[in-house]
């Protein structure tokens, strides 16, 4: 049988990137191989996100384009997975007659079965069960790194029990469940044997890793075990909830040589009142203490964060408290979002919605402040020597190599093509808004 063509479009966060890799690997066993263009595909799979209104709209636009494409290619199969699939379930099948199957975040392993039913009986499929603390990855083959990748994601847990009042994730990814440590370690060993040099361990709240299955490793023990795997040179993880950022984890940054000096620690708001309404369970003061401890344990650690503006009830003084926190912490970079209502979350019930115009103005102001700080912090790298893991050629200039520092800064540098995965020492010559430029130290 000739191989069939699969196109996967991934929306949303790194978890979805990881899931897409596992889905591609699962479907490879059904004779599907990846293509770059939906118009040549036999199967188009959208791995969706519903964390905010914008990513959700992107999915609906893509579905609109696929309707047009399917008119020309009536045999094309369209499948939807990920968080929007989990959220909307059967409604997607009803609303979009050109969609053939919908699969939830914990039912990935049933995609092959849904395809079989479709091929054999022409039956449109739906599998969106979310119950229990079952590990959705347990029955899947490990992911393979895509062609030349030297960096890979590995999910170590699924779901979230925190129920921040704005967040859909607990409803679409289910209750928190950790993967078995041995499975994770075997998967990383397999990635390492295929040339992967850097792994990012993924979870909504990695620091509570392992707490659901007694006898397994805890997060710091898991980091230690990954540290022992030959071939892996760098370890990262995301995301950590400030409330659960333990002292042993903070100390690990100064202790484990492979653990990179970067942490993504979402703050969301600088106002104690808003944090409380967000159900974030820490105060701005507590967050600052964590930052102080991190910088003490690991001087030079880079810190990035997520911020929301326009959360229901956010007054001008709350917004200023966010701006003040940004000044105080001096983040290396941040992701900022305008609050949007998510179905079923507590915050949708809160009155005092912030008008769009005000939220937009706050977003612009916040981003302008961070741009200045990022610029200043990037400037401070000029003249410094850094270790860079080469990931390939630079996107902007194919004459140059691109890699990342341990602090997760992108560096472009001239010179002969270096193999992806090489580790080089560079001196930073110049800082830009979003990247650095270096030269090899010979
Ligand atoms: N698990 C991570 C974040 C997951 S979602 C954590 O604990 O922080 C990624 C980011 O999207 C969040 O950090 C938050 O800043 C943003 N976000 C989530 N829901 C949102 C909403 N309803 N409106 C605006 N931003 C939101
Ligand atoms: Fe969402 Fe909060 Fe869980 Fe992060 S910790 S995924 S923001 S509920
Ligand atoms: Fe989006 Fe789901 Fe990730 S909602 S941000 S894809 S966990």
Q: Which ligand has an atom closest to residue 16 CA?
A: 3
Beta-sheet pairing, 385-393 with 401-405: antiparallel
Query: What does the alpha-carbon distance between residue 147 and residue 349 come to, in Å, rounded to a whole number?
Result: 46
306 lines ligand 1 (CB under 6 A): yes
How many Å lie between the centroid of ligand 2 and the Cα of residue 356?
23
Overall size of the chain counted in residues: 442
Residue pair 106/174 in contact (Cβ under 8 Å)? The answer is: yes
Q: Which ligand has an atom closest to residue 238 CA?
A: 1
pLDDT (tens, 9 = 90+) of the chain, 442 residues, equals 789 999 999 999 999 999 999 999 999 989 999 999 999 999 999 999 999 999 999 999 999 999 999 999 999 999 999 999 999 999 999 999 999 999 999 999 999 999 999 999 999 999 999 987 788 888 887 766 665 589 999 999 999 999 999 999 999 999 999 999 999 999 999 999 999 999 999 999 999 998 766 668 999 999 999 999 999 999 999 999 999 999 999 999 989 999 999 999 999 999 999 999 999 999 999 999 999 999 999 999 999 999 999 999 999 999 999 999 999 999 999 999 999 999 999 999 999 999 999 999 999 999 999 999 999 999 999 999 999 999 998 888 888 999 999 999 999 999 888 888 999 999 999 999 999 999 999 7
The radius of gyration of the chain's CA atoms, rounded to the nearest angstrom, is 22
407 lines ligand 1 (CB under 6 A): no
Q: Give me 335's structure tokens.
A: 């992701």
Q: Give me 45's structure tokens.
A: 């799979």
How many Å lie between the centroid of ligand 1 and the Cα of residue 83?
13
- Residue owning tokens 């390939």: 392
166 lines ligand 1 (CB under 6 A): yes
Query: What does the alpha-carbon distance between residue 99 and residue 93 come to, in Å, rounded to a whole number?
Result: 6
Whether omega before 28 lies within 30 degrees of 0, making that bond cis, reads no
Bridge partner list, 90 = none
How many Å lie between the centroid of ligand 1 and the Cα of residue 156?
19
From first CA to last CA, the distance across the chain in angstroms is 53
Q: Based on the number of CB atoms within 10 Å of its own CB, is 19 exposed (0-12), middle (13-18) or buried (19 or more)? A: buried
Query: What does the alpha-carbon distance between residue 105 and residue 103 come to, in Å, rounded to a whole number?
Result: 7
347 lines ligand 2 (CB under 6 A): no
Q: Give me 197's structure tokens.
A: 């040099």
Query: Other C-beta atoms within 10 Å of 300: how many?
Result: 9
78 lines ligand 2 (CB under 6 A): no
Query: What does the alpha-carbon distance between residue 336 and residue 361 come to, in Å, rounded to a whole number?
Result: 13
Query: Other C-beta atoms within 10 Å of 425: how many?
Result: 12
Query: Other C-beta atoms within 10 Å of 277: how many?
Result: 20
177 lines ligand 3 (CB under 6 A): no
How many Å lie between the centroid of ligand 1 and the Cα of residue 36?
29
Query: What does the alpha-carbon distance between residue 263 and residue 237 come to, in Å, rounded to a whole number?
Result: 8
Closest by alpha carbon to 170, among 205, 200, 137?
205
Q: Which ligand has an atom closest to residue 51 CA?
A: 3
Query: Other C-beta atoms within 10 Å of 396: how many?
Result: 10
Domains of the chain: 4-127 (3.40.50.12160), 142-260 (3.30.750.210), 264-379 (3.30.750.200), 385-440 (2.40.50.140)
Query: Other C-beta atoms within 10 Å of 148: how many?
Result: 11
Residue 220 has what pLDDT? Answer: 96
Residue pair 58/65 in contact (Cβ under 8 Å)? The answer is: no
Mutate-to-test residue for ligand 3 from 8, 48, 83, highest number of ligand atoms within 8 A of CB: 83
Query: What does the alpha-carbon distance between residue 13 and residue 162 come to, in Å, rounded to a whole number?
Result: 18
């Amino acid at each position: 049988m000739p191989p069939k063509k699969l196109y996967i479009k991934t929306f949303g966060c790194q978890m979805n990137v990881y899931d897409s890799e596992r889905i591609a690997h699962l479907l490879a066993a059904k004779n599907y191989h990846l293509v770059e263009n939906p118009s040549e595909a036999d199967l188009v799979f959208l791995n969706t996100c519903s964390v905010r209104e914008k990513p959700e709209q992107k999915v609906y636009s893509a579905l609109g384009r696929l309707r047009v494409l399917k008119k020309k290619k009536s045999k094309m199969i369209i499948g939807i997975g990920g968080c929007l699939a989990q959220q909307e379930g059967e409604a997607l099948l009803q609303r979009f007659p050109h969609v053939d199957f919908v699969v939830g975040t914990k039912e990935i392993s049933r995609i092959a079965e849904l395809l079989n039913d479709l091929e054999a009986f022409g039956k449109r499929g739906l599998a969106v069960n979310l119950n229990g603390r079952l590990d959705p990855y347990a029955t899947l083959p490990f992911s393979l790194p895509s062609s030349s990748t030297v960096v890979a994601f590995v999910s170590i847990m699924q779901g979230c029990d925190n129920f921040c009042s704005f967040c859909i994730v607990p409803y679409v990814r289910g209750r928190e469940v950790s993967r078995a440590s041995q499975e994770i370690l075997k998967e990383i060993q397999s990635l390492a044997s295929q040339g992967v040099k850097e792994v990012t361990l993924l979870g909504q709240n990695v620091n509570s890793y392992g707490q659901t299955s007694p006898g397994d490793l805890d997060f710091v023990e898991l980091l230690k075990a990954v540290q022992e795997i030959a071939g892996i040179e760098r370890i990262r993880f995301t995301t950590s909830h400030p409330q659960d950022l333990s002292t042993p984890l903070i100390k690990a940054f100064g202790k484990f040589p492979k653990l990179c000096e970067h942490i993504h620690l979402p703050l969301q708001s600088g106002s104690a009142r808003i944090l409380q309404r967000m159900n974030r369970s820490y105060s701005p003061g507590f967050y600052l203490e964590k930052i102080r401890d991190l910088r003490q344990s690991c001087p030079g650690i880079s810190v990035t964060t997520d911020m929301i503006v326009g959360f229901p009830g956010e007054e001008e003084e709350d917004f200023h408290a966010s701006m003040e926190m940004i000044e105080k912490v001096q983040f290396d970079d941040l992701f900022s979002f305008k609050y949007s209502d998510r179905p079923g979350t507590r915050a949708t019930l809160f009155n005092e919605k912030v008008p769009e115009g005000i939220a937009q103005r706050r977003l612009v102001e916040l981003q302008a402040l961070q741009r200045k700080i990022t610029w200043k912090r990037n400037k401070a790298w000029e003249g410094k020597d850094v270790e860079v893991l080469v990931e390939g050629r630079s996107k902007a200039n194919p004459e140059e190599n691109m890699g990342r520092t341990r602090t997760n800064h992108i560096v472009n540098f001239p010179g002969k093509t270096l193999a992806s995965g090489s580790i080089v020492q560079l001196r930073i010559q110049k800082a830009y808004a979003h990247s650095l430029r270096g030269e090899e130290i010979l």
